[in-house]
Homo-oligomer: A and B are copies of this chain.
Amino acid sequence: MDPKPSLPTSDMICFALYSATHAMQHAYKPLLEALGLTYPQYLVLVALWGSDGQTVGQLGQALQLESNTLTPLLKRMEAQGLVARARDAKDERQVRVSLSTAGREMQARAAGIPGCILERSGMSLAGLTALRDQVNALRDQLRGA
């Protein structure tokens, strides 16, 4: 299952994250496909459902993505009619992203997704939470160093 049992541990944890991320996206894919969304697009919607009208920079902070990734992604979502993009009147350097009606309605249609994934994971909520905290701790250590 693992690429090579003799791999150094630090390489193996990295590969584990790498392949688990792929497996996770694979699990989300059929659920999101039914809504016409990709995984990063879903993340943008989740962020906006939590707080609408965020700037591109705030979304990037939340999702750990740069503007060069977000701009084309948001433009595709705008073309799909999920969000609207508009320069902030106070500071015209900033672009605020807001949910359209279709974008808000998507929340109800996507409501079943987390439960589906939770079930597929075969883990308890407490187990997942603990794992999440450990993975986040590793991430912050690597980023913050």
Contact = CB atoms under 8 A, between A and B. Distances in A.
B4 A135 contact: no
Given A115-B10, A117-B10, A139 B19 contact: yes
A117 B3 contact: no
B47 A4 contact: yes
A93 interface: no
Interface size band for A: 35 or more
Nearest to A134: B131
Interface string A111-145: 00111011011110100110110111011111101
A145 B118 CA distance: 12
Interface in A25-74: 25-28, 39, 43, 46-47, 50-51, 62-64
18 contacts: A2-B136, A4-B46, A4-B50, A6-B50, A9-B118, A9-B129, A11-B117, A13-B121, A13-B128, A13-B129, A14-B117, A16-B132, A17-B21, A21-B21, A22-B64, A26-B143, A121-B141, A131-B134
Interface of A: 1-4, 6-28, 39, 43, 46-47, 50-51, 62-64, 113-115, 117-118, 120-123, 125, 128-129, 131-132, 134-136, 138-143, 145
Chain A to chain B: the 7 pairs with minimum beta-carbon distance, closest first: A8-B114, A4-B50, A20-B139, A10-B118, A10-B117, A3-B62, A16-B135
